[in-house]
A and B are shown apart, each in its own frame.
Chain A
Amino acid sequence: MLYVAVALSSFRRYSTYTAATLAGIFTNSVFGVIISFSYIAVWKENPGAGGYDVTDALTYCWLAQAMIMTIAIWNGGTTDDVAERIRTGDVAIDLYRPVSFLGWFLAGDLGRAAYHLLTRGVAPTVVGALLFDLHFPGSPLTYLAFLVSVALGVVVSFSIRMLVATSAFWLLDQSGLLTLSSVFAMFFSGLVVPLVLFPEPFRSVVLALPWSAFVQVPIDIWLGQRHGAGVLGGLAFQAGWGAVLLLACAGLLRLADRRVVVQGG
């Protein structure tokens, strides 16, 4: 099928960056170690902080590092191409293709995410497991649920990045919006500090935001913090945000489409 082909070719394209990938894995590992020690210090003081124990926290740390590139938390996904193509005007070609614009780029992003999961994802997790005691799920169902959750996380991340990229149709200088989006993504995804550590009332707010779908939800499934119905609830949360945001993207694109036709790009 067409979209599978798109995903595969995206996978292949990103696999040419070997040296950068190795360097990135090194960086991930170094920061993983630093953050691990800070978490150990926190959970030593408060062994049940956020409902986690120290093993949960360490696992969170390494999985979060593993997912940075996969979820493309601030950029590095196919949406970078979109912004560029809007700037150069090439996007007009994309909009007139007999394929779904969103589908095309989403498929590409999922292909890329697969590559990054296998390299920048697996490698730091292995390093973390070698250096520290990490929690690994007992049941294969959990792994499956985790993978589905990661995929949904990519979809939510993609749609947010696509919304930002589409702003290039209207905004001349995107840097402000991009930075804002990056900071929000970095912070509210739980990359800097697990969302479960946030004090109330912030905790509830932050867990309801779409960014918590990136990292917090998949990891909670892995850790068993969400089990049974909780898992389905988490997946539904991700799917819900994904759907809403993709619809928003589609809407924006239709507006942009009209603009392209009327103003000639």
Chain B
Amino acid sequence: MLIEVEDLSRDFTVRRRAGRLRRTTEVVRAVRDLSFTVERGEMVGYIGPNGAGKSTTIKMLTGILVPTSGRLSVAGIDPSRNRVDLTRRIGVVFGQRTTLWWDLPLRDSFDLLRRIYRVDTARHRRNLAEFTELLDLGGLLDTPVRQLSLGQRMRGDIAAALLHDPEILYLDEPTIGLDVVSKGRLREFLRRVNAEREVTLLLTTHDLQDIEQLCRRVMVIDHGSLVYDGSLAGLHEQGASTRTLVVDLVDEAPAIDVPGAVVVKVEGPRQWLCFPAGASAAPVVAAVAAAYDVADLSIQEPDIEAVIREIYQRV
């Protein structure tokens, strides 16, 4: 077991203003009795609504925050006691801010990291060459980080986090703000890193497609508790979530009848068909296109908050 979490809890004391002068203190349980294990090589998605306790968990796993109670072991190390030892074995990518140095060109940032993490020069060179190629960083190496676009910076951050061959990579909203093509490339890279280097990935995200494409296992946290821990398909089944195919027919027609989908709304030539979120859209699209004159199609993904709310209500 690479990551072992047992009854992990984290309280925060929040001071709120009650009236003009008084202040009440309230204890908020951000994370309560969390328990899970992660094996080496897993790709785990960690999702939940805002304020559910995701960042708090990551902060405890990386040693930034110490738990209020419970047991925590990452790569055999207790993060709250041996933070510095642990840092060599992990990599962290923060979606909203960079771990790189603003004014330095990427190349210099990477070199600094090589020296700080004391990476063997040859190994560093090999890693850098591979990441530069896979993440298309070649033309960017001499650009200061502050001049990079969000997508470029994110690629730089991920390369930086992996240069020292960490065993675990934590990614906090890595695809936020990226365009579709960049997202796809990033996911491909992460899949590859996991497959070839056996890097364990723990990814927090709001983008369900990230989960769909990357994670075989999903953990859902809400109000500090783990409400689901299992496969992705299982999640959709539990949440009974659906995807929606929006079909624009050439002419108005009565409700489309194809197997595996149900029409939920009709507005002129436009019809909304729902099918289970775990299922592929391809057969439905093919069936519709075969039987009707289609002008245009689009797919709406299930709202993750709705899925989670659904699950939480079942608990």
Q: Do chains A and B touch in the complex (CB under 8 A)?
A: no
